[in-house]
Chain A
Amino acid sequence: MSLKSNLHNLKEKYKGTKMAPAFNALHTFLYLPNETTHNGTHIKVADDLKRTMNTVIMAMVPCLIFGMFNAGYQHYAAFGTPVDFLSWDAFYIGLIKILPLVVVSYGVGLAIEFLFAVIKGHEVEEGYLVTGMLVPLIVPVDTPLWMLAVAVAFGVVIGKEVFGGTGMNILNPALTIRAFLFFAYPTWMSGDKVWVHGAVERSKEIANGANLDAISGETILGSLAQGQETSYSVADMFFGFIPGSVGETSTLLILLGGLFLIFTKIGSWRIMVSSVVGALVMGLIFNGVVSAGWISESSKFFGLMSTEFWHHLLIGGFAFGTVFMATDPVTASQTNKGKWIYGFLIGFISILIRVFNPAYPEGVMLAILLMNVFAPTIDHYVVQGNVKQRMKRLKVKTA
């Protein structure tokens, strides 16, 4: 008996039992199911939700691998023993630090998904496949694993399952997890120590009296927020040889991922484009404020305000958030017109918060979460436009 028929027999055996969703989740991972159409269309397109989610994951894999190299590269650079970027040494550090993040993220998240599926008797939906990959990419490399586990549990249960699971949630689950980490453990999520592996540990050793140099792994945004010059070139920013969350640094790879998503028609180009436009507009406004002389150089906002408007696209989490998080179809606007407004406001507000948030100079997370909340409102007004047209047609007729 082949694997195929063995699994088929098992599926028949589990049918109707509590364990059926859990078994089916594993079974359908191996085999596209033998389900056929019944009523309605007798044929269907080749795509399903698994394929869709898988495409998004493929777009993120380069960022993950780059993140592994970068973690080691930044570590050695900060500790004064630089290594080549594409070296085994650099990759090894990244691998042992980041792989556990991925494993914990998927392990905890999927366990909860399976649990809910079994309790509520529905199939395990694929939404977490993308969330589980996003989470390790948007946290600092040294995030303790237990924190991540707590945050994932919170995000999946409160951010998604209480609303009814995949497709029903209001807030992007990955950002809910990130926001939970940010507000629950702020010292691990911001500052100048968390972005480089080993920096936190080193500062603890120093506090305990060890005679060592302090390690600073400040992000570009962090330096700018404090009015310092950054030592990174534009090319570094674009290619991603800078400190930051695991997967957010390489604008180039994110750009390629974004183009891939647009090409495969999985990601919304409307949201990506309008978000970039929104960010550029806000950046230009700030540049205008600076050149008009409305703000003095001693102001604490001067550093970020005077950053050239298009540099905002290269630094921080803006590119990553725009391409992979703002485009989440469940929490974004669902109408095409609404997507333009939604994306534009995300870009616009991201840069606004980034400049005016003194404690934590990054705004993409909060901007997207905020717009997640407003997306249904945007859609409502877009759809009302269509409804009003229909009403007008009726009035013209009866008049």
Chain B
Amino acid sequence: MSNDITIKKGLDIKLKGAAEKVTENAIISNFCTVRPEDFHGVTPKLIARVGDKVKAGEPIFYDKAQEAVKFVSPVSGEILDIPRGDKRRILALKIQADKEQIFHDYGIFNVESATSESIKNHLLASGCWPFIKQRPYDVIANPEKSPKAIFISGYASAPLVADYDYVLQGKEAELQVAINALGKLTEGQVHVSVSKNGSSPLSGLKGVTLHKVSGPHPSGNVGTQINKIDPINKGETVWTINPQDLVIIGELLLTGKFNAERLVALVGSSVKKPRYFKTKIGSEIATMVYDNGVEKDGNDRIISGNVLSGKQIKPDGSLDFYSNTITVIPEGDDYEFFGWNKPVFNKISTSRALTFSWLTPNKKYDLNTNTNGEHRAFVLTGNYEQVFPLDIYPLQILKACMYEDLDEMEALGMYEVAPEDFALTEFVCVSKQPHQAIIRKGLDLMIKEIG
């Protein structure tokens, strides 16, 4: 069964520095960092202490609110340091990796004969649960709730991101096992979407409802697909998982090992040789970045994730738990003489106000991190709607979040959205408002007040 989804509203941001489809093994980094802040809303309770030896896949902390949700170490090694911030908040767990990696053995799991309860417990114990996120609220799924459906987007349409068709090659077996397991966790369907023009390993899977997606970004965002396929109503829950994490879940079920290995695209205009690397969750990115043409004392922004909703990381930072892309673009901390009124040819714009990107729709741009203007109150209207395909009024819901009107937020569709759905409206915002942060704050307020 195949259903087509075509998106018209949106914007493909074409940037320089897309990854060449070549894979290299990244130099194995000696340090691995797990940051609790990757898991929004989780208050970590430590299991491992400084100096402890852990195996790859062994739990190192759990969520205070949902104790069943365990977080495991991506590598085997020794816990080096647990730096803390204000109010003793745990910032990170730094692990020095062993030369020889030892895996914690969770045993081969027979999905066919397993009940949904036993699958759930297995995923919770083995640290695979955090890969499953839920909507509403865009947080780690609540294991006590049963989702009405599970959504997996196998089409990444954001600028410069890793191509799932490429990174999932040869992983069919793992994907199928993971899908089988997830299928038992929901009474509804498992929706998988792939690019209409690609050949995705996901399209051959059994036990899923396949959707072929076409159109500009954000057609690949799982939020867009949920809205078009089966929108979330009040009281309902859906789960979403990234396909590259299905591979890890699948491998765990097949072999009993939590293998945090992941194919990562190193992209962006500051990278001389953008391509794919095999690396692990949490591993330090410095060597990978600087060995590939990013200048060591250059003025660059390193992002774990894509340019629209990724996280800024320091050069000694690490790959975060959910990303499969590292983007490096130039910083834009410089002034531009009369930059606000002179004709612009080298930046993207959705207007034609002496901006000429509409003349060259296929040109690839080298954008930097300059905001191109200052933060202002909302003034323009109608421009968000051009890039926002969801059946929701973006400006109105943003304002509802700002004045914290819970009834209005609920009525306007807050249960359906995640911050990343507002990445494009934030990109095109003339008033330079932080849309994703506004939505995140709104969602957090709803968790607190409604739950």
A interface list, Cβ under 8 A from B: 4, 7-8, 24, 28-52, 54-55, 123, 125-127, 164-168, 263-266, 268, 270, 329-330, 332-336, 339, 379, 383, 386-387, 389-391, 393-394, 397
Contacts and interface: CB of A to CB of B under 8 A. Distances in A.
A51 B353 contact: yes
Given A167-B378, A329-B379, A383-B393, A39 B436 contact: yes
B333 A36 contact: yes
Q: Which of B327, B353, B396, B426 has the most CB of A within 10 A?
A: B353
A330 B392 CA distance: 20
A165 B377 CA distance: 9
A265 B351 contact: yes
B374 A43 contact: no
A125 B312 contact: no
B271 to A, nearest CB: 15
Contact of B391 (A8, A48, A386): A386
B353 A55 contact: yes
Contact of B371 (A4, A36, A330, A334): A36
B352 A263 contact: yes
Interface stretch (B44-52, B172-180, B248-256, B427-435): B427-435
Interface string B333-358: 11111111100100111111111010
Contact of A264 (B353, B367, B419): B353
A67 to B, nearest CB: 23
6 contacts: A4-B337, A31-B335, A36-B332, A41-B436, A43-B367, A391-B411
Interface stretch (B58-66, B207-215, B380-388): B380-388
A56 B341 CA distance: 12
A330 B382 CA distance: 11
Contacts of B15: 43
Interface stretch (B30-38, B90-98, B300-308): B300-308
Contacts of A38: 312
A12 B88 CA distance: 33
Contacts of A329: 379-382
A286 to B, nearest CB: 32
Given A32-B336, A34-B335, A334 B395 contact: yes
Contacts of A29: 340
Q: Which of B234, B376, B429 has the most CB of A within 10 A?
A: B376
Contacts of A39: 312, 434, 436-437
Interface in B398-439: 411-413, 419, 423, 426-432, 434-437
Given A32-B373, A45-B351, A47-B349, 6 more contacts: A33-B335, A43-B369, A45-B349, A47-B373, A167-B379, A329-B382
B361 to A, nearest CB: 15
Contacts of B367: 43
B353 A47 contact: yes
Nearest to B350: A45
Contact of A31 (B231, B234, B339, B348): B339
Contact of A46 (B13, B233, B348, B379): B348
B288 interface: no
Contacts of B339: 31-32
Contacts of B380: 52, 266, 329
Q: How large is the interface on B (under 10, 10 to 19, 20 to 34, 35 or more residues)?
A: 35 or more
Contacts of B301: 36, 42
A386 B370 contact: no
A334 B382 CA distance: 7
Contact of A50 (B341, B348, B411, B429): B341
A40 B376 contact: no
A29 B413 CA distance: 39
Nearest to A39: B437
Contact of B382 (A50, A268, A383, A386): A268
A124 to B, nearest CB: 10
Contacts of B437: 39-40
B221 interface: no
Q: Which of A32, A333, A336 has the most CB of B within 10 A?
A: A32
Contacts of A43: 13, 15, 307-308, 329, 348, 367-369, 427
A54 B341 contact: yes
A334 B435 CA distance: 17
Contacts of A125: 376-377
B335 to A, nearest CB: 4
Contacts of A32: 335-340, 370, 372-373
